[in-house]
């Protein structure tokens, strides 16, 4: 679609810069936004390119940018929600697992999402009602029904966020009940992987809207289900996400609730 074309073209362009910077990671300027919260000139440059490209294509839309904050547009109904580099910590350590995440929100609802991993050249995209795709091929969540066979992603709370004791309990039940837990370090890709059936589920608390906006739509369009950890739909406000293939949602949510 023309909209997804605009988004994937912007992601491609910003990704070229990220790939160059990833090759010379020791030369980046890194500053600290808060405890264990880093940003580099690679994040900033990628965000500037995304903003310029999207503004050229849709001049009236506003923005919610991880690094730049809120930019009002003349069209009050549409805004881009952008994480220019999800997985900054991986990036800065030379770990090749990070992505660009772009979502379009219309009147409070996410209607399009693109997540691009430039190292693996994997472009995940979805438009509301149109299904989810990885590089032009349709993707679906997994069909796994057995909790014991499931592979689950998570994010470990850091920089003093979240509740370490609660997380330890959640991890404990997941260690007992599933076939394994992964911590990849880029929440947008975790969600894309649930959409692609690579992970059967993913949970994390303390995320931001830009970490999850595109991923939420991808999971839905791939046939999965998303809620907060209590089964509500507060994800974008509370920052808590449980994304599953649908089949495993109720048992996983019960485990997480009991571990709270
Ligand atoms: C982070 C990643 C990470 C998650 C953090 C996020 P950033 O985003 O998505 O996986 O655990 O909560 O802040 O800062 O690398 O864009
Ligand atoms: Ca960040
Ligand atoms: Ca992020
Ligand atoms: Ca980021």
Interface predicted TM-score (ipTM) of this complex, two decimals: 0.98
Residue 207 CA to residue 139 CA, distance in Å, equals: 24
Sheet with 241-244: strands ordered across: 180-182, 151-154, 201-204, 241-244, 225-227
| Residue 183 CA, closest ligand 1 atom number | 10
Average pLDDT over residues 47-56: 98
pLDDT at 213: 98
Q: How far is CA 253 from the centre of its chain?
A: 20
Evaluate: CB of 211 within 6 angstroms of ligand 1.
yes
Element holding 127 (H helix, E strand)? strand 122-127
What φ, ψ does residue 199 adopt, rounded to 5°?
-110, 145
Residue 159 has pLDDT above 80, yes or no: no
Residue that terminates a domain, selected from 117, 139, 161: 139
Verify that 168 and 73 share a domain, yes or no: no
To test the ligand 1 pocket, which listed residue (171, 207, 216) has its Cβ within 8 A of the most ligand atoms?
A: 207
Contacts 24+ apart (CB under 8 A), 142-148: 142/197, 142/198, 142/199, 142/200, 142/245, 143/197, 143/245, 143/247, 144/200, 144/245, 144/247, 144/248, 145/247, 145/248, 147/177, 147/178, 147/248, 147/251, 147/252, 148/177, 148/178, 148/179
**Domain residue limits at 62:** 2-139
Evaluate: CB of 228 within 6 angstroms of ligand 1.
no
Average pLDDT over residues 20-24: 94
Residue that terminates a domain, selected from 110, 139, 168: 139
The β-bridge partners of 139 are: 132
What's the CATH number where 26 sits? 3.30.540.10
Q: How far is CA 241 from the centre of its chain?
A: 11
- How many structural domains is the chain composed of? 2
pLDDT at 184: 98
Residue 129 CA to residue 81 CA, distance in Å, equals: 19
Q: What angle do CA 170, 197, 254 make, to 5 degrees?
A: 30
Verify that 67 and 15 share a domain, yes or no: yes
Residue that terminates a domain, selected from 92, 122, 139: 139
Average pLDDT over residues 104-118: 98
Residue 161 has pLDDT above 80, yes or no: no
CA atoms within 13 A on the CB side of 117: 23
């Amino acid at each position: 679609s023309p909209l997804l074309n605009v988004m994937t073209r912007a992601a491609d362009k910003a990704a070229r810069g990220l790939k160059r910077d990833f090759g010379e990671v020791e030369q980046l300027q890194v500053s600290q936004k808060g405890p264990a919260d880093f940003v580099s000139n690679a994040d900033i440059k990628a965000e500037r390119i995304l903003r310029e490209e999207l503004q050229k294509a849709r001049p009236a839309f506003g923005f919610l940018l991880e690094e730049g904050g809120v930019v009002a547009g003349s069209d009050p109904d549409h805004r881009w929600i952008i994480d220019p580099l999800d997985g900054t910590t991986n990036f800065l350590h030379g770990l090749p697992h990070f992505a660009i995440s772009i979502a379009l929100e219309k009147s409070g609802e996410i209607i399009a999402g693109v997540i691009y991993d430039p190292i693996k050249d994997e472009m995940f995209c979805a438009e509301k009602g149109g299904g989810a795709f990885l590089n032009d091929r349709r993707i679906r969540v997994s069909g796994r029904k057995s909790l014991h066979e499931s592979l689950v992603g998570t994010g470990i709370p850091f920089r003093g966020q979240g509740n370490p004791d609660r997380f330890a309990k959640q991890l404990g039940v997941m260690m007992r009940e599933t076939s394994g837990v992964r911590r990849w370090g880029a929440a947008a890709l975790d969600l894309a992987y649930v959409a692609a059936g690579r992970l059967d589920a993913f949970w994390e608390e303390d995320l931001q809207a830009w970490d999850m906006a595109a991923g939420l739509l991808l999971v839905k369009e791939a046939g999965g289900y998303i809620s907060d950890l209590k089964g509500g739909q507060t994800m974008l406000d509370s920052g808590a996400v449980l994304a599953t293939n649908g089949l495993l949602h109720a048992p996983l949510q019960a485990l997480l609730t009991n571990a709270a």
